[in-house]
Copies of this chain bind each other. A is one copy, B any other.
Amino acid sequence: MTVVGSIAFDAVRTPFGERERMLGGAATHFALAASFFDTVHVVGPVGDDFTDEDLAVLATRGTDVSDVERVAGGKTFFWRGEYGWDLNTRETIDTQLNVFEQFQPKLSEASKAADVLFLANIQPELQLEVREQCTGARFVAMDSMNLWIEIARDALVKVIERVDCVILNDAELRQLTERPNVLTAAREVIGWGPSVVVAKQGGYGAALVTAEDFFNIPAFPMEDVIDPTGAGDTFAGGFVGYVARNVDRAIDRNVLRNAMAYGTAIASYNVEEFGVERVVRLRPEEIDARIEDLRALTHFEPSPLDLRTETPR
């Protein structure tokens, strides 16, 4: 797998604590989740302030960091945000693009040769450039954000036309298509080219839409959510990672539904602690246990009754 996207330092405050500088960014969270499934090649720029220790964390579970470009004299992308009391709202206090301002993705042969590609949320023009370099990719997924829908919609649609899977928040899907109904919005996007649309629903879970399937999975219920930062990218890493392991076989309904469950399971661990702290030391057996829990909390055996039709008198 190859992922292109941000590698960042985040400053985060939630009602449960804060961190002044922690490793973050979409590509980082994606890679830490996807590395459970296969080798991930990370493409993205960092600055002089990015230490070997940071790089070692990114390389967890065999992730290839040789396409992480260290820009001499540059500073790593920085984001500062603060969450509201129920973690459902967050405010961006500061964004410093730094080395991202001049970023031109350079992919090694190994990164270009990937079977599976994830275009994390960056400028659509750069996403398209990377997508065109990965000529052999058999499954390409992407994320984006409201900013690009607002200021670069045409470029964004061009990228969408060239991918297999779009992963967006449901509000972004509505905004992108100007369709108030998420199912209608997802089907419109499928009409543009992709075969799979995932509508992320924040703390509620996520929905999967294909031409012939619909699947919904709730977020794993937890009392102790500490920091939601990176949950969406961690979900994407689990989802795309599971698909990547099945890309030689058919990516059928069962694979996609399991991918939704793996994304949800790993993301639920991500929010237990700040940044990548939890997923770095996550164990496969913990993921498997949560998959079983997710199945248990969504499962029901229909026990039909004789329902009344008319006034029984």
Contacts and interface: CB of A to CB of B under 8 A. Distances in A.
A89 to B, nearest CB: 11
A112 interface: no
A72 interface: no
Given A86-B181, A223-B184, A302 B295 contact: yes
Contacts of A215: 297-298, 300
Nearest to A287: B307
A218 interface: yes
Interface string A14-51: 01000000000000000000011111000000000000
Contacts of A255: 303
A180 B86 contact: yes
Interface residues of A, number: 66
Contacts of A37: 305, 307-308
A180 B300 contact: no
Interface in A28-82: 35-39, 59-62
Contact of A216 (B221, B283, B292): B221
A214 interface: yes
A36 B307 CA distance: 5
Given A204-B204, A218-B216, A284-B308, A301 B180 contact: no
Given A258-B300, A261-B300, A183 B305 contact: no
A184 B127 CA distance: 41
A251 to B, nearest CB: 13
Nearest to A59: B311
A237 to B, nearest CB: 12
Nearest to A285: B307
Interface of A: 15, 35-39, 59-62, 85-87, 174, 180-184, 187, 201, 204-205, 207, 214-218, 221-225, 242, 245, 254-255, 257-258, 260-261, 283-284, 287-288, 291-292, 295, 297-313
3 A-B pairs closest in CB distance: A284-B307, A86-B180, A216-B218
